[in-house]
Amino acid sequence: MSRVLVVGGGAAGMFAAITAARDGHKVCLLEKNEKLGKKLFITGKGRCNITNACDMETLFSSVVSNSRFLYSSFYGYTNQDVIRFFEELGVKTKVERGERVFPVSDHSSDVIRAMEQEMKRQNVKVRLHTRVTGITVRDGKFVQAELAGGEHICGDACIVTTGGLSYPTTGSTGDGYRFAEGCGHTVVPCMPSLVPMEVKESWAGSLMGLSLRNVSASVYQGKKRLYQEFGEMLFTHYGVSGPLILSASSYVGGRLKSGELRLEIDLKPALDEEQLDQRVRRDFEENLNRQFKNAVGKLFPSKLIPVMVELSGIDPEKKVNVISKEERLGFVRLIKHLTLTLTGLRDYNEAVITRGGVNTKEVDPKTMESKYIRGLYFAGEVLDLDALTGGFNLQIAWSTGYAAGHGIP
């Protein structure tokens, strides 16, 4: 039996603590907040998207950074294992659109409570309001954790699950990166990910609150396409957000540091330009004597109409029956290529996760143990791992937390 310290009481930390305790170790979980799972509480808009019920190929393809590193941990504790785990703890689950898995109750608090009760059953000692300030290593082995106020807690192993930098109000302030660097690890530069993006065009702000469904979004750097996906997006006072945009930020965020990128929105992806032109002509024929601004109501949400009319360059007062073919085809191209200039990412306060973190090349993928320090383990968002929205990032937390907890001899 080893004495195991877990630093951080989020998803990965609680899961690692439960796993290590079930394996017969004496576990103490140290959390600087007043309660456990503060970030977990707000995931999935408070509903907690526990995992994704997709097949393994989709699971791996949804990981943006270092998916190969997760081979052992994903297969060692799968998404189906996670579902069974919570079902056995009394948290009934359901699968929604996109294979997203939620508790039937739609309450993240039920997920946290179930894990707290399981830790209690497994005799995990939980210390709240306990801030770890450093880690002591001697002769290449973890020795103790140093606490604010000068206290030290000795242990045979330490699992660092302090999260990243996203949502700092939940306590994610990068402590684990400092611990890792102090032990000789390198930390891949961090940036917000799964985060809304800002745009140059002022007209986007006039659409604040407008949600577009079933559209296609593509991001380009010059002629090179960096991202393309179909789904839902949202306009904000500063730019764009929503699932499509958050996912795009994972792929293109780093490129924004070197310049602006081009976002093209296809408002009618089910139609090619010829089919869309036929549709527009039908709408025009039904409104021959109406003004252009009053003839496109069936094409767009009402809030979008004045913007599309202005961007088209066609006189809003112009009668539909005198609009030229060239003007009409230009309008069709606008609908298929509504363009915005991406200028930057929002900050960590709005980011779902952090991209970057402890270099995975310096961590054993089977056990999450440091390759430099015996008895030191990392799990969850503190590692340089990130994925798309849909429960994939929590699956990373569960699988790496399990691998760390189970990897302690």
Kindly list the averaged pLDDT for each block of 10 residues, start to end, along the chain of length 409: 96 98 98 95 91 98 96 98 98 96 97 98 98 96 95 97 88 91 96 94 96 96 94 96 94 82 97 96 90 93 96 94 94 98 93 95 98 98 95 97 97
Length of the chain: 409
The predicted pLDDT at position 393 comes to: 96
The predicted pLDDT at position 173 comes to: 85
The predicted pLDDT at position 144 comes to: 97
Predicted TM-score of the model (pTM): 0.90
Q: Cβ atoms within 10 A of the Cβ of 46, count?
A: 11
Q: Are 332 and 266 in contact (CB under 8 A)?
A: no
Name residues whose C-beta falls within 8 Å of residue 288's C-beta, 6 or more positions apart in sequence. 319, 320, 321
Phi, psi of 236, rounded to the nearest 5 degrees:
-130, 175
Question: Token pair of 310, please?
Answer: 């202005």
Q: Are 269 and 214 in contact (CB under 8 A)?
A: yes
Question: Amino acid identity of 84?
Answer: R
Q: Are 132 and 145 in contact (CB under 8 A)?
A: yes
